[in-house]
Amino acid sequence: MVDSNISINLTNRKEYNLTDFTNVYSRIMQFDKNKSAYIHQWYPFVEGYSKEFITSIIDELDYKPKHAFDPFVGSGTTPLELQEIGIKCSSFEVSPFMHKLATVKLERSYNQNGFQNALDAVCHNLNGKLLPIRNIMEPPIAKTIQQRKGLDKWLFNRPVMDGILDIKHVICKIGDEKYKDLFTIALASILLDVSNVYRDGKSVKYKKDWKRIKIKRRDVHLKFVTVLKETFLPDIILLESKEIVVENKDLCILGDVREGIKDFKDDSIDLVITSPPYLNSRDYTDIYIAELWVLGFIKNYDELRSLRNRTIRSHVQVKHGDIEIIDSQELRNVIGKLSENTKDHWNKEIIGMIKGYFLDMKNLFIELRKKMQSEKKIFFNVANSAYYGVEIKVDMIMAEIAENCGFKVEEVRKARDLKPSSQQKDLIDSLRESIIVLTS
C-alpha cells in the first residue's frame, strides 16, 4: 500500500514522516466519486472527499468509534457516511446553505408516500397558468444575480429567474418542513445548470458564449421536476427500506466551531475526520454566491459581511488586522519571505490571512485536545499553498501545531499532487494534498 517513506525536517528539532499514500488516496479524495452515490448525489459539491475516504479510515481503525466529530462538515459527507454504518457523529458548519444541505441529506424520516404527495402538488402548480411571479416573489437584491439594466454581466437571465421564483413559490406551499427543505436542495442542485456561470477555483466564471444561452421559464420547471423524479425519488425509496440505527442530523450544528466546540464535554470524542478550508484564499461565500442569495440564506450585504467574518481566516475578503504569529519556525520563514515583497502583493491581507489561519487551527487543536479521549485518532485533510513563489507547507506546520497542543503525529500521508493557481504555475510545479494522522 505504501510506496515510500521519507522524512522532512520541519523545525530542526523534530522530523515528521511523510508517507506516500497516492496509490490509495488519489482515487478517493475527490467528491466526483459521489456524483452518482446514494444521497451524496443530491448536490454536485465541488470541494471535499468521497464516501470511500471515510470507509477506508473506519476499516483501518483498531477500535469502533462511538462519537466521531467533523468541525467543518461542508456538504455532510463525514456524518452521512458514518450514519450509514451506525456511528454517531457531531459536526459544525458556519455556512447556512451548507448546513441546510448537510441536514437535508442526514434526514432519515423521508418516505415515498410523503415525497410523492409533495411532488404531485409541485407538478400541479408548476403546470398551471404562469403567474405574474414578481408580484408574488421578490428576486434577490444582489447586484449581479439577475439581468438588470446597466449591467454587463449577470448570473441568471430574466426568464430563468422567473422560473426559479415560480419554483420557490410552489415550495413555500409544501406543508411538511422536511420536504420543503428537501425540494429546496433539489432547486439548489440545478441552479448553476440554468445559470450563465460555472464553478471554477476561487469563484464562478462565465460560460463560453453565455449571452447566447436561451433557457425558457418552463425549461427551469422541467429540469427541477426531472431531478426530483430521477435522482431524489429512487434514493427516498431505498432510504425507506433501511433500518434506522443512528441519526446524525440533530448533531449537525449551524455555527462557528471555534466557539461551539467549547460546549462539548471533555473526553467525549473518539474520532475526528475533517477537511478545513484550504489556505488558498477561496471565499466560499463567493463560490456559493448563487445558492446563498437565490435561496434566501442571505438577504442583504450586511448578512453577507457577517457570514464572511464568521468563517475560518482562509480568504482575504475581510480585514484581518494585526495578528500574532504562532510559534512555528517554518511559518516564520514563510512570513519572512513573503514580507520581502509586500508591495507586489495583489492583496495586503495575504500575510494576515496566513497568520490568522494557523492561529485559528491552533485554537481548534487546543480545544480538541480537551475533548478527545486518549489514544484516539484524528484524520486531518489539508493542502499546501503558494503565494509569490513561496510554498507554504500547511501539512507540516499543522502537524507541528497539533504536536505542540499535545497530540502525537503518527504520520503525514501524501494523498495527491494538486495543480497550483495560474499565478503560481511557472514558479511551483505542484502542491501536496495530505492527510495528517494524529493520536490523542
pLDDT, one tens digit per residue, over 344-370 is 665 577 888 899 899 999 999 999 999
Helices of type H across 61-176: 77-84, 96-106, 112-126, 158-172
User: What is residue 16's three-state secondary structure?
Assistant: strand
pLDDT of residue 163: 98
- Greatest mean pLDDT range, 18-22, 226-230, 285-289: 226-230
Q: Decide if pLDDT at 12 tops 50.
A: no
Measured distance between the N- and C-terminal CA atoms of the chain, rounded to whole angstroms: 25
pLDDT of residue 10: 40
Residues 6+ apart with CB under 8 A from 184: 100, 104, 171, 295
Helices of type H across 127-200: 158-172, 177-190
Q: What are residue 16's phi and psi, to 5 degrees?
A: -110, 135
- For the chain, domains (ranges, CATH) are 5-96+248-281+316-439 (3.40.50.150), 112-240 (no CATH)
Longest Cα–Cα distance in the chain: 73
Grid cell 522524512 in the structure block, residue? 7
Cβ atoms of 327 and 366 within 8 Å: the answer is no
**Cα 302 from chain centre:** 22
- Greatest mean pLDDT range, 116-125, 143-152, 191-200, 389-398: 116-125
In angstroms, rounded to a whole number, what is the distance separating the alpha carbons of residues 51 and 45? 13
CA atoms within 13 A on the CB side of 436: 28
In angstroms, rounded to a whole number, what is the distance separating the alpha carbons of residues 163 and 137? 11
Grid cell 461542508 in the structure block, residue? 74
Burial class (CB in 10 A: 0-12, 13-18, 19+), 37: middle
Query: What are the E-state strand segments in 285-357?
Result: none
Q: Is 265 left (phi over 0), alpha (psi -120 to 50) or beta?
A: beta
Nearest to 266 by CA among 365, 363, 362, 373: 373
pLDDT of residue 14: 56
Q: Output the average pLDDT for the chain.
A: 89
Cβ atoms of 415 and 435 within 8 Å: the answer is yes
